[in-house]
Amino acid sequence: MPDTTVKQPLPVIAILGGTGSLGNGLAKRWAKAGYSVVIGSRDALKAEQAAQTILEQITGSQICGADNLSSAKNADIIVLTVPFANQITTLKEVQGTLKGKLLIDVTVPLQPPKVGTVQMPPEGSAALRAQALLGEHVDIVSAFQNVSAAHLNSSHAIDCDVLVTGNSRSAREQVIALIEAIGMRGFHAGPLANSVATEALTSVLISINRHHKLDGAGIRITGNPLSDG
């Protein structure tokens, strides 16, 4: 018998800060996986140019560029990939468009020049700071802090797992589906409070890269699922 299952359309993803290396890498991988992607930036022209470059690289991809506010308005899922210094300013700009949506916060509280030293904000983490600003009407999930931007921008498979924290299990599952769509494994890592640990790992990995001359160290979760019997 023919398959009569109705397939749900893929969500539209807006990547605020998508002209940066990390955001651009995610945009490429989701566009290649068949998602509609909007690259957001404070400079709409810069966003449009970044989208055009990806269109030339990935034939048939559904990607465009716009300013941050327009990008957030027209998306189902918003991904924040701006530097820590710009996190709150960017969120305040789009705050009115986020109610009832899923926000993936990729922000890491790196504070130059000591980016290899863990320096967490008073709220505990960047994600908790975002939740305090936006309130409970926005589902916030923290992820991707421990994946190298260089790897995301490459063409090779990424040998790295992604820790996903958030207060809503269903929201975490949506993010894990997005992670799997680009060929990586995502793991439920508990509530948003645990983002304190996952964000701090970025500085640890930076130190490992420096001391051992590694190119984008990541993390891997080991172990086998326990059998029910």
Over the range 115-137, which residues count as b (16 or more CB within 10 Å of their CB) and which as e? bbebebbeebbbbbbbbeebeee
Q: Does position 112 have pLDDT exceeding 80, yes or no?
A: yes
Q: Does position 206 have pLDDT exceeding 70, yes or no?
A: yes
Stated length of the chain? 229
Question: What is the set of domains in the chain, with CATH numbers?
Answer: 12-212 (3.40.50.720)
State the pLDDT at residue 226: 75
Q: Do 125 and 100 contact (CB within 8 A), yes or no?
A: no
Q: Mean of the pLDDT values across residues 122-134? A: 97
185: confidence class by pLDDT, cuts 50, 70, 90: very high
The span from the CA of 37 to the CA of 31, in Å, is 6
State the pLDDT at residue 191: 98
Mean pLDDT of the chain: 94
Residues forming beta bridges with residue 65, ordered by sequence position: 39
Q: Mean of the pLDDT values across residues 6-31? A: 92
Q: How many helices (H) and strands (E) does the chain have?
A: 8, 8
Q: Does position 219 have pLDDT exceeding 60, yes or no?
A: yes
State the pLDDT at residue 123: 97
The span from the CA of 13 to the CA of 1, in Å, is 34
Q: Does position 229 have pLDDT exceeding 90, yes or no?
A: no
Vertex 61 angle, CA 50 and 75, to 5°: 75
Cα dihedral across residues 209, 214, 216, 222: positive or negative: negative
Q: Does position 4 have pLDDT exceeding 80, yes or no?
A: no
Between the alpha carbon of residue 162 and those of residues 98, 100, 152, 154, 213, the distances in Å are 24, 24, 13, 17, 22
Q: Do 31 and 61 contact (CB within 8 A), yes or no?
A: yes
State the pLDDT at residue 224: 81
State the pLDDT at residue 215: 87
State the pLDDT at residue 227: 65
Q: Of the given ranges (68-82, 127-141, 215-229), which has the lowest mean pLDDT?
A: 215-229
State the residue for tokens 């923290």: 142
Q: Mean of the pLDDT values across residues 52-69? A: 95
Q: Mean of the pLDDT values across residues 62-69? A: 97
Q: Mean of the pLDDT values across residues 192-204? A: 97
| High-pLDDT (> 90) share of the chain, % | 90
Between the alpha carbon of residue 166 and those of residues 39, 85, 141, 172, 196, the distances in Å are 24, 22, 5, 6, 12
State the pLDDT at residue 7: 67
State the pLDDT at residue 8: 73
Kind of pairing between the strands at 139-142 and 161-166: antiparallel
State the pLDDT at residue 6: 54
Closest Cα partner for 104 from 87, 127, 85?
Answer: 127
Write the burial class of residue 96 (CB in 10 Å: 0-12 exposed, 13-18 middle, 19+ buried): exposed
Q: Does position 132 have pLDDT exceeding 60, yes or no?
A: yes
CB count within 10 Å of CB 171 equals: 20
State the residue for tokens 């789009």: 94
